[in-house]
Structure 1
Amino acid sequence: MKENAKKKGFMDKFLDIIEKSGNKLPDPVVIFISLCVIILIASFITGSLGVKAKNPADGKVVEAVNLLTPSGIAKMISEAVNNFATFPPLGLVLVVMIGVGIAEKTGYFETVMKYTIEKAPKQIIVPVIIFVGILGNAAGDAAPIVLPPIAAMVFIKLGYHPIAGLVMAYASALGGFSASLVIGMTDALVVSFTEPAAKLVSDAVHVNAAMNYYFLCASTVLLLVVAWFVTVKIVIPRFGHYENRVEETEADVTPLERRAMIWSNIALVAVLLVIAALTIPENGLLRNPKTGSIINDSPLMDGIVPIITILFLVPGLVYGFVAKTMRTSRQFAEMLGEAMSTMGPFIVIVFFASQMLAYFTWSNLGTILAIKGADALQGQNGVVLILGVLILSAGINMLMGSASAKWAILAPILIPMLMLLGYHPAFTQTIYRVGDSITNPITPMMPYLPLLLSFAQKYQKNIGLGTLIAGLMPYSVAFGIFWTLLLVIWYLLGIPVGPGGPIHLK
C-alpha cells in the first residue's frame, strides 16, 4: 500500500508539472495573435534580406514578401473580413453543427448510447462500451460527456469498480478520437485546414473529407482490441471491486425513448437509402456528371458536409418530435442556438487563425519553410518522418488541447513539406490525427478532464487527478505503440488511407 501511495504521489507531482506548464501558455486566441505578429516580423526580416527558395514542384523561385509595407498593411486591413468569411473551417463546422446540435440536444445521441450498452450481453459489454466510445467522435462532445457516467453505472452492475468504467469510456472516446466507421464533423474539420495548406504547393492536388476512411476503419478495430485488453488485464485489476452501494440512477431507456430511437433510426436508414439511390446508379445525381466518378469532383464528395449534417439532423428531429423533447419550432430554434453558442470560442479562434494563414501565404514563408524543410529531410526514411510527425503532434497535444488549433498551426508547414517530398496530404493528415489522438486521454489541456474528476468524486470523494491519469496512462501508451505500428505497416504496404487518399503523390 505504501509503494502504491508513493507511485500515486509521483504521478500527482508529474501531472502538476504538466498542468503548471500548460497553464503558463496563453489562451489559443492570444497564441494566434502572437503568431500573426511573429509572421509579420519574420516577413519583414526575410523580405529585407531577400530570402528565396526554388520550388522543386514547378522550378519557380519563391521570394519572401515583406508585409510591413504601406501596400502590405493596406492589404491586411482590406482583406481581414474576407480572410475570415472565406476560411474553410468556419462554414464547414457551423453547418455540421446544425445537425449534430439537434441530435445531441434532443437526446438522440444519449439514448442510442444507453440503449446499446443496456442491451449488450454481459460477456461483450466492455467491448461494446469501448466501441460506442470510439465511434462517439461523430457525435461531437456527446461521447466524453455522456458515456463515462453511463459506463460507471454499468460497471457497478457487473461488479467492477465504477472508476474503471469512467476511465475506460473516457480513454475510448478521446484516445480513439480520430478512429471511426462513420465520416463525421472531425473529418470535415481537419480537411478544411488541409486543403488551403495543400494549395500553398499545388492547386492540382484534391482532398476530401473521406480521404482517411480506410485507415480509420482499420484503426477502429485495432483500438477496440487494444482497449479491451488494457481494460481487462490492467485497469479493472488495478481498481479492484467496488464495495459501496450507489442509488440507482436513470440509466435505463424508457419506452418513449426507445420508440423515439426506433423511428429515428428508421429515418436515418431512409436517408442513407436515398443517398445510395442517388450515388450507386451510373448516372446517379451525386456522381461526377462528366466522368461518373464518385470520388473526384463529385457532388457526393463536394457536398459531404451538408450530407453529414442531414444524417444527424433528420434522426435528431424525428427523435425530438416522438420523444417530445422538441415540441415547437421555438424549441427547435433554441436548441440550434444552444448548439451554436458552444462554437463561440471556435469562431473567435478562426478569425485570428484565418489572418495567420493569410499572412503565411502572402509572405511566402510557408512555401519557403516547406522547401527548406524538404531539402533537409531529403533522403530520410519514410518511417523516420512518420515517427517525427507523430511525436510532434502528441507532444504539442499535452500543452494545447484543441485539435483544430494545433492543425491550423501545423498544417501549413507539414502538408507542403511532405508534399514536396512526394507524400499526399491525406497521408500527412492521417499521421497527425494518430499523433493527436494518442495523448488525448492524459493531457490536462482537455476540458473534459475536470468533468471526469467530478464524476469520479461521486464514487471516491478524495480521488485526485493523479489516480485518473494513472488509470488513463495505459491506454495512451498502448494506443501509441499499436496505432503507430499499424500506420508504419500501412505505409510499407502502400495501401491508400482512404478514397482519393494515396500514400504518395502521383
Structure 2
Amino acid sequence: MSSSPQSAAPRRSLTDRFLHIVEVGGNALPHPATLFALLTLCVIVASSLATWFDVSAAHPATGETIRAVNLLSREGLHRLLTGLVPNFTGFAPLGAVLVSLIGIGVAEHSGLIGAALRRLVFAAPRWALTPVVVFAGVMSNMASEIGYVLLIPLAGLMFKGAGRHPIVGMAAAFAGVSGGFSANLLLGSIDPLLSGLSQEAARLVDPAYTVNAAANWYFMMASTLLVVAVATWVTERHVAPRFDMASTLDVEGDTIAPPDANERRGLRWALYATLALSALTAWGVVPADGLLRNTETGGVLDSPFLRGIVGIIFAYGVVCGIAYGVGARTLRSDADVIRGMGASMAALGPYIALVFFMAQFVACFQWTNIGLILAVKLAGLLQVLQLPAIPLFLGLIAITAVANLFLGSASAKWALMAPIFVPMFMLLGYAPEMVQAGYRIGDSVTNIISPMMSYFALIIAFFQRYEPKAGLGTLVSTMLPYSIALGIAWSVMFAVWIAFGWPVGPGAPLTYPG
C-alpha cells in the first residue's frame, strides 16, 4: 500500500526570496558599533599589507605621491593610543548632533511637536487628508522618532474617522516619515550629522574644506514637494484600492481627541515665538550690513548664519518649546526644561557608543591614506570610462539604495561610504555637497521596504491592529509601490538638478574646482 504524497510546499515568489535574502543577510551583520570596531581592525591590518606592497597613487591635483601609512608600526601604534580620545571628542558630527538635539528635545518634551502634528492632521479637510499626512510625515523627520511612534498610528485613526481604511493612512504617513527621510522644509539633527561626515571625508582631498549643515537645504525643500506629490498619487492610485474599509476591525477605544484649549494656547504662543525668532534672524541676514553676514565680504555664504546654523536650530527648539510649554502648562519650571534636554540626551546612549567606534574607523582610514589612494584609483578608472555626471550620480543612488536594505542607519552607512565616494567624486570635479545629496536619495527610498530599518517591526504591529494577519509581506507589498515611484521620480529630479547645475544648498555648487 503506497503512502500518500506529502503536499508540496507553496512556491515562494521572487520578491519573497529576495526579501528573505535581505532579512538573513541583515540579521547576520553584527551591531553597527561592533561592525565599526571590526572594520577598524581590518583597516589597521590592511595598512600594514599596503605598506608591505608599497601601495601608492599620484595626487591628481598636486602630483604628490600618496603612500599608505602603516598603523602596525611603532609610530602607528603610538598614534592609535594617543588619538583614541581626540578622535572621539573631535569627531565633527558629534557636537553638532548633541547641540541640535538638546534644543529639539525641549520642543519634544514640552509636547510642541506632537501637538503641532495633531493640529495639522485634524485641521485637514477630508479631500486633503492624504497629502497633509504625507507632508506631516516629512516634517516630523526633524524630531527623530516622533513620526514613527505618534504620527503613523494617528494617521490610521484619522483615516478611520474619515471612513477610510486605517492602513491606507498609516502607509501614507510611513511613506512621508521614512521614504521622505531626506526631504524637509526645515533643518533637523540629521543635517549636521551627515555634513560632518562629508566634511571629514572631503578633507582627505582638501584639508581646509568645510561642509555646512544647510548644504542640501535647497534640494531638501524641493524634494518635500516631490515626496508629497508622489506619495499622494501612490496612496490613491495603488494602495487605497487594495484595502476594503468593511474589513476593518472595530478596535475598542480607538479614538483620539483633538487638541484641547491648553494645547491650542500653547500652539499660539509657540507661533508667536517662531515669528519673533524668524524676524530676528531676518534682521541679521537680510540687510546688507546684517550682523549675521560675513563681516569682510558682507555675503551670506561662509557667514556666521550658515556656520552657526546648528545654534539657530538649538535656539528655535528651546525658545519655541518653552513658549508652548508655558502656554499649554506642560512646563512648570526651569527644571522641566532641563529634564527635556536630559531626556533627549538619555536616548543617545547607543548613538554615542556607535560614534566612538565610528570616529576611530574614520580617523584610521584617514591616517592610512587607503581611502584617498582607493579614491584616486577609482576616479582614474571613471575618467578613462568618461561617464557623464548623471550616470555617475544615479549609480551612487542605486548603490546606496541596495546598501540600505542591509544597513539601516543613515549615519553608519555614510561613515562607511563617504571616505570613498566623496574624495572620488571630488577628484572627478564634483562637490561633496552634491555627493551627499545623491546619497540621501538612495538612503531614503528603500527605508520603507527594509526589514533592517529599526522601526520596521513597530509598523507591522500598527498594521496588525487592524489586519491581524498582516506581516512582513503585507508591509513590504504595501510600501513597495512607494519605494519604486519615489526612487524613479527623485532620481529624475536629481538628474534635472545636475543638468541645470543648480546648487543643492547655500554655498553648495555642483562642481569642485580642485
Q: How does 1:324-335 map to 2 (within 5 A)?
A: 324-335=329-340
Aligned to 1:53: 57
Aligned to 1:315: 320
Deviation for aligned residue 1:192: 0.6
Aligned to 2:163: 159
Q: How does 1:219-368 map to 2 (within 5 A)?
A: 219-242=223-246, 243-246=248-251, 247-296=253-302, 298-368=303-373
Contact 2:196/2:211 (<8 A) preserved: no
TM-score by length of 1: 0.96
Aligned to 1:481: 488
Aligned to 2:421: 414
Deviation for aligned residue 1:328: 2.8
Which residue identity lines up with residue 61 of structure 2 in the other structure?
A
Q: Give the number of the structure with larger relative contact order, counting CA–CA contacts within 8 Å between residues 6 or more apart.
A: 1
**Partners of 2:213 and 2:340 in 1: CA distance:** 26
Deviation for aligned residue 1:207: 2.1
**Partners of 1:61 and 1:216 in 2: CA distance:** 39
Contact 1:153/1:251 (<8 A) preserved: no
State the SS of the aligned residue for 2:447. coil
Q: Which one of the candidate residues 94, 99, 112 is aligned to 1:95?
A: 99
Aligned to 2:392: 385
Aligned to 1:65: 69
Contact 1:150/1:251 (<8 A) preserved: no
Pair 1:376 & 2:377 matched: no
Could you report, residue by residue, the CA deviation over 1:49-83 in whole angstroms, capped at 9, with x for unpaired residues? 21111111222111111110111101110111011
Contact 1:207/1:500 (<8 A) preserved: no
Residues 1:67 and 1:302: Cα distance change in structure 2 (over 3 Å): same
Could you report, residue by residue, the CA deviation over 1:25-49 in whole angstroms, capped at 9, with x for unpaired residues? 1000111011101111110011122
Which residue identity lines up with residue 116 of structure 1 in the other structure?
L
Aligned to 1:447: 454
Q: Which one of the candidate residues 37, 43, 49 is aligned to 1:39?
A: 43
Aligned to 2:442: 435
Q: Which one of the candidate residues 143, 149, 153 is aligned to 1:149?
A: 153
Deviation for aligned residue 1:488: 1.0
**Partners of 1:34 and 1:449 in 2: CA distance:** 26
Deviation for aligned residue 1:330: 3.0
Could you report, residue by residue, the CA deviation over 1:87-106 in whole angstroms, capped at 9, with x for unpaired residues? 01110101011011111122
Aligned to 1:3: none
Contact 1:54/1:61 (<8 A) preserved: yes
| Greater Cα shift, 387-396 or 418-427 | 387-396
| Greater Cα shift, 196-205 or 328-337 | 328-337
| Greater Cα shift, 197-206 or 251-260 | 197-206
**Partners of 1:398 and 1:473 in 2: CA distance:** 13
Q: Which one of the candidate residues 15, 18, 32 is aligned to 1:28?
A: 32
**Partners of 1:7 and 1:186 in 2: CA distance:** 42
**Partners of 1:145 and 1:504 in 2: CA distance:** 40
Contact 1:93/1:185 (<8 A) preserved: yes
Contact 1:9/1:466 (<8 A) preserved: no
Aligned to 2:464: 457
Aligned to 2:128: 124
**Partners of 1:451 and 1:105 in 2: CA distance:** 22
Contact 2:371/2:420 (<8 A) preserved: yes
Contact 1:134/1:176 (<8 A) preserved: yes
Aligned to 1:115: 119
**Partners of 1:274 and 1:82 in 2: CA distance:** 36
**Partners of 1:227 and 1:72 in 2: CA distance:** 51
Aligned to 1:136: 140
Which residue identity lines up with residue 285 of structure 2 in the other structure?
T
TM-score by length of 2: 0.94
Deviation for aligned residue 1:311: 1.1
**Partners of 1:244 and 1:83 in 2: CA distance:** 53
Aligned to 1:168: 172
**Partners of 2:11 and 2:445 in 1: CA distance:** 23
**Partners of 2:438 and 2:425 in 1: CA distance:** 11
State the SS of the aligned residue for 1:471. helix
Aligned to 1:203: 207
Which residue identity lines up with residue 284 of structure 1 in the other structure?
G
Which residue identity lines up with residue 201 of structure 2 in the other structure?
A
Deviation for aligned residue 1:368: 0.6
**Partners of 1:238 and 1:215 in 2: CA distance:** 33
Which residue identity lines up with residue 486 of structure 2 in the other structure?
F
**Partners of 1:248 and 1:476 in 2: CA distance:** 29
State the SS of the aligned residue for 1:441. helix
Q: Which one of the candidate residues 170, 179, 184 is aligned to 2:183?
A: 179
| Greater Cα shift, 267-276 or 208-217 | 208-217
Contact 1:8/1:470 (<8 A) preserved: no
**Partners of 1:435 and 1:463 in 2: CA distance:** 27
**Partners of 2:16 and 2:456 in 1: CA distance:** 14
Contact 2:449/2:480 (<8 A) preserved: yes
**Partners of 2:256 and 2:162 in 1: CA distance:** 17
Contact 2:157/2:256 (<8 A) preserved: no
Deviation for aligned residue 1:245: 3.0
Deviation for aligned residue 1:268: 1.3
State the SS of the aligned residue for 1:286. coil
State the SS of the aligned residue for 1:62. strand
**Partners of 1:148 and 1:15 in 2: CA distance:** 23
Aligned to 1:86: 90
Which residue identity lines up with residue 408 of structure 1 in the other structure?
A
**Considering only aligned residues, what root-mean-square deviation do their CA atoms show, in Å?**
1.6
Contact 1:114/1:251 (<8 A) preserved: no
Deviation for aligned residue 1:9: 7.6
Deviation for aligned residue 1:318: 1.6
Deviation for aligned residue 1:145: 1.9
State the SS of the aligned residue for 1:504. coil
Pair 1:504 & 2:507 matched: no
**Partners of 1:385 and 1:60 in 2: CA distance:** 26
Which residue identity lines up with residue 264 of structure 2 in the other structure?
R
Unaligned runs of 5+ in 2: 1-9
**Partners of 1:448 and 1:267 in 2: CA distance:** 33
| Greater Cα shift, 311-320 or 475-484 | 311-320
Residues 1:7 and 1:330: Cα distance change in structure 2 (over 3 Å): farther
Residues 1:51 and 1:248: Cα distance change in structure 2 (over 3 Å): closer
Contact 2:140/2:146 (<8 A) preserved: yes
